[in-house]
Amino acid sequence: MISVSTIVLLWLSVSLAVMGPIVDDSNNSDGPQVTTGANDASSGKWLTSFDEAKKTSIERNVPLILHFEAVWCGACRQMDAAVLNHQDVAKHLGSSVIGVRIDADRDPELIAKYAISSLPTEVVIGSDGLELARYTGSATLAEYTARLDKSGIRSGTDPNTNPILGLDDSLRRCLLVMRDGKVVGLGGFCPVAMMRDKKWLKGSEEFVGSYDGVDYFFQTAEEREFFFACPKEFVPGLHGCDPVEFQRGRRAETGAIELGAFYKGRVFFFTSPSNRRLFTNNPAWYAEGVSTDRIQNPEQFPFLKSMDLN
């Protein structure tokens, strides 16, 4: 186990001749290759993109293993040679767990986010973003496969706990699709009154402004002008689509006005109380790094094709 604080000294002492990459991308039919594509995650491969691995973990509702390593770390190289590329490990990757290898020198933000102080370190994250386990130091093949067996039976959420059934009839949709195809945001309520004055007040058809292809209603022309001075201060996250369904189900489903939650000064809406609970337990997991890739119904909400999601 090597302290991250010794990076500089170790780097200077290691010859460039022995500092080859941890994973050899040459023909190696005996073990898995590292890939950056989430579509290949089911083929027994390690990913190198955290965002892709996170997305796949959420979609498949399986745990995510973050393997932190470095080229200068002797214990890391030992695990690479004897453990990580073994077929007994490969059979777990993409099925019972999603694995991503993270270079400590290239991803300092992730090192800080997960408080990594020594290498190698593995952090097991549930599909809801909550930490399930943490392992520090090298492991033998037997120890590692036992770890994967244990990690693979853990899951952040049950995929059947919240099937998409649509909103309860007693709840009001945040996004309204009109007969002429136009999309109305916040159910016709004024976004300035909601965010600035903390009041739910209906806007007027006389004062309408379109942002990202979504029409918002205001009470006065002054409110509309105030809105367009800084729209992101008033527009709900994903214009009111449920971020949990967006990440887990890869579907754009409109949330309910009655089911909102704030994160970093922005309001998000949800299709169910259980989704709102998932979000409030770990809002960054669902609100950050959002992508429209592989969304099943982009045609339902055309603004998804052009809007800035983050």
Mean pLDDT of the 195-213 span: 94
Domain check: are 140 and 214 in the same one?
no
Residues 6+ apart with CB under 8 A from 67: 46, 84, 99, 100, 101, 102, 120, 122
Among residues 152, 184, 209, the one where a domain terminates is 152
- How many domains does the structure of the chain reveal? 2
Domain check: are 203 and 122 in the same one?
no
Mean pLDDT of the 122-133 span: 91
Could you report the per-residue pLDDT of 12-70, keeping only the tens digit for each?
343 333 333 333 333 333 444 444 444 454 468 999 999 999 988 988 889 999 999 99
Note whether residue 101 is domain-resident: yes
Note whether residue 157 is domain-resident: no
CATH label of the domain that carries residue 15: 3.40.30.10
Q: What is the pLDDT of residue 166?
A: 54
Domain check: are 133 and 213 in the same one?
no
Among residues 85, 119, 152, the one where a domain terminates is 152
Domain check: are 8 and 141 in the same one?
yes
Could you report the per-residue pLDDT of 252-291, keeping only the tens digit for each?
899 999 999 999 999 999 999 999 999 999 999 999 878 7
Domain check: are 148 and 248 in the same one?
no
Domain check: are 234 and 134 in the same one?
no
Distance in angstroms (rounded) separating the CA atoms of residues 85 and 297: 37
Note whether residue 158 is domain-resident: no
Structure tokens at 23: 């994973």
What is the domain extent for residue 255?
Answer: 176-305
Domain check: are 184 and 299 in the same one?
yes
Q: What's the DSSP call for residue 308?
A: -
Mean pLDDT of the 226-233 span: 95
Distance in angstroms (rounded) separating the CA atoms of residues 37 and 31: 17
Q: What is the pLDDT of residue 308?
A: 62
Neighbours of 16 (CB within 10 A): 6
* 55, 86, 247 from 238: Cα distances, Å: 17, 41, 12
Q: Is the dihedral of CA 274, 275, 277, 278 positive or negative?
A: positive
Kind plus residue range of the DSSP H or E element containing 257: strand 256-263
Distance in angstroms (rounded) separating the CA atoms of residues 232 and 212: 11
Domain check: are 16 and 142 in the same one?
yes
User: What is the average pLDDT score of the chain?
Assistant: 82
> In sequence order, what are the beta bridge partners of 121?
68, 136
Note whether residue 159 is domain-resident: no
Taking the model in full, what pTM does it have?
A: 0.67
Among residues 106, 136, 152, the one where a domain terminates is 152
Could you report the per-residue pLDDT of 281-309, keeping only the tens digit for each?
999 999 987 877 777 777 778 777 766 65
Looking up tokens 């490969």 gives 90
Q: In the predicted model, is pLDDT for residue 91 greater than 90?
A: yes
Note whether residue 54 is domain-resident: yes
Buried b (16+ CB within 10 A) or exposed e, 148-159: beebbebbbbee
Strand 121-125 to strand 64-69: parallel, antiparallel, or no bridges (unpaired)?
antiparallel
